[in-house]
């Protein structure tokens, strides 16, 4: 009898162990890696100072040459849309977990790993270029990690007077004599809806259809998001000419900023992609 009991017991134990490993074959969640690929048309961007011979030089539609020494932008409010249309929000109210500063000079920041994504097939990704208004308050206590990452000396993505974050920070040089190029974008909105409101909304929501569905499950897919900075000046919305009034558009000023914002992030109505496109999906 004892022998039978032991035998039955060992069958139960073994089958429970094997059923565990069966579950490992079909995980309920896995990661998705977003890889940001910053380009000038079909050339990968190489940063450089004024006299750099290795920096990638781009020529705009109006024939103006330019290259970057700094390239940073904020991505947040990420939502993944399944094949069946259901939307999975990724920590959209938590800048510490759900937002990132993509800094072209720091290669690790070009990959943003989304964790614990429910298994399934995804056909579309939506995200924000910048920080949505409700969270754009430089609240250090609420989101200390994002605040610190954005505010670090080598990053400088705080917009103090606007009590918000910089959404993009582009520094570089243009024209043969390497004039300074400095373009920062951010929102200056104040006031509550229904009352007096003022300011410019520089946040843009991007919608990208995945060329191939991303399948989360046994594998963890990698989605390459291309950011084509040729669109900065030669955008779908605006063709811009750099000049004394806008190349360093009073660095923190909103006057010329919106034109750059519409080029980079779309105009929010007819153009929902701006400079972004899907470079590929690896499952």
Partner 1 sequence: MKNVLGALAVMYLLLLSCNQEEEMTPVLPHNPEIELDIPAAFPPMNPSVEANKPTKFGVELGKKLFNETMFSANNSISCASCHQQPKAFADGRARAVGIYDRAGLRNTPPIQNMAFMKFYNWDGNLLQLEKQPLVPIITHEEMGSSISEVVTKLSAVPEYRELFAIVFGKGGITPERIYQSISQYEYTLISADSKYDRIQRGEGDTFTESEKRGLHLFEQKCAGCHSTALFTDQTFRNVGFPVNPDRDEAGRARVTGDPSDYMSFRVPSLRNVEHTAPYGSFGQFQTLRAVLDYFDKGVIAADNLDPILKENGNRIPLTESEKKDMIAFLKTLSDSNFISK
- Choosing from 145, 212, 219, 250, the residue that interacts with partner 1 (CB under 8 A) is 250
Half-sphere exposure of 28 (CA within 13 A, CB side): 1
Nearest to 106 by CA among 139, 72, 74, 136: 72
Half-sphere exposure of 210 (CA within 13 A, CB side): 23
- Choosing from 84, 134, 160, 193, the residue that interacts with partner 1 (CB under 8 A) is 160
Q: Which is nearer to partner 1, 55 or 257 (CB)?
A: 257
CB of 258 to partner 1, least distance (A): 5
| Cβ–Cβ under 8 Å, residues 206 and 217 | no
Write the CB contacts of 49 (distance below 8 Å, at least 6 apart in sequence). 55, 69
Site string for partner 1, 114-143 (x = CB under 8 A): ------------------------xxxx--
Q: Quick check: 243 binds partner 1 (CB under 8 A)?
A: no
Q: Quick check: 18 binds partner 1 (CB under 8 A)?
A: no
Q: Quick check: 163 binds partner 1 (CB under 8 A)?
A: yes
Q: Quick check: 212 binds partner 1 (CB under 8 A)?
A: no
CA distances from 84 to 81, 120, 181, 247, 277 (A): 8, 10, 45, 45, 22
- Choosing from 27, 48, 118, 199, the residue that interacts with partner 1 (CB under 8 A) is 199
Question: What is the SS3 assignment for 259?
Answer: helix
Q: Quick check: 195 binds partner 1 (CB under 8 A)?
A: yes
Q: Which residues pair with 66 in a beta bridge?
A: 58, 174
31: tokens are 């990661």
- Choosing from 252, 272, 280, 283, the residue that interacts with partner 1 (CB under 8 A) is 252
- Choosing from 109, 258, 267, 279, the residue that interacts with partner 1 (CB under 8 A) is 258
How open is the CA angle 272-33-206, to the nearest 5 degrees?
A: 10
CB of 200 to partner 1, least distance (A): 4
CB of 16 to partner 1, least distance (A): 49
Which among 42-50, 166-174, 194-202, 273-281 is the span making contact with partner 1, rule CB under 8 A?
194-202
Buried b (16+ CB within 10 A) or exposed e, 19-37: eeeeeeeeeeebebebbbe
Q: What are phi and psi of 164, to 5 degrees?
A: -150, -170
Site for partner 1 in 49-108 (CB under 8 A): none
Return residues touching partner 1 (CB under 8 A).
Answer: 138-141, 144, 147, 151, 158, 160-163, 188, 190-191, 195-196, 198-200, 248, 250-255, 257-258
């Amino acid at each position: 009898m004892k022998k039978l009991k032991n035998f039955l017991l060992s069958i139960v134990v073994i089958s429970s162990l094997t059923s565990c490993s069966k579950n490992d074959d079909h995980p309920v969640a896995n990661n998705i890696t977003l890889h940001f690929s910053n380009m000038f048309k079909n050339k990968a961007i190489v940063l450089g100072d004024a006299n750099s011979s290795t920096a990638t030089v781009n020529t705009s539609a109006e024939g103006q040459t330019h290259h970057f020494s700094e390239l940073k932008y904020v991505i947040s409010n990420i939502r993944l849309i399944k094949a069946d249309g259901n939307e999975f929000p990724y920590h959209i109210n938590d800048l510490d977990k759900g937002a990132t500063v993509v800094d072209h000079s720091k290669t690790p920041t070009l990959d943003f790993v989304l964790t614990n994504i429910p298994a399934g097939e995804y056909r579309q990704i939506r995200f924000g270029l910048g920080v949505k208004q409700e969270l754009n308050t430089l609240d250090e206590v609420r989101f200390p990690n994002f605040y610190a990452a954005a505010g670090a000396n080598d990053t400088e993505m705080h917009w103090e007077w606007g009590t918000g974050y910089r959404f993009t920070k582009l520094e570089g040089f243009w024209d043969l004599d390497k004039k300074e190029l400095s373009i920062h974008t951010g929102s200056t909105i104040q006031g509550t809806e229904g009352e007096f409101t003022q300011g410019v909304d520089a946040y843009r929501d991007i919608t990208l259809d995945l060329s191939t569905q991303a399948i989360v499950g046994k594998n963890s897919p990698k989605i390459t998001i291309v950011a084509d900075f040729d669109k900065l000046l030669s955008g779908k919305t605006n063709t811009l000419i750099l000049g004394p009034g806008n190349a360093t558009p009073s660095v923190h000023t909103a006057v010329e900023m919106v034109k750059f914002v519409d080029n980079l992030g779309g105009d929010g109505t007819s153009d929902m992609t701006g400079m972004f496109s899907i470079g590929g999906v690896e499952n």
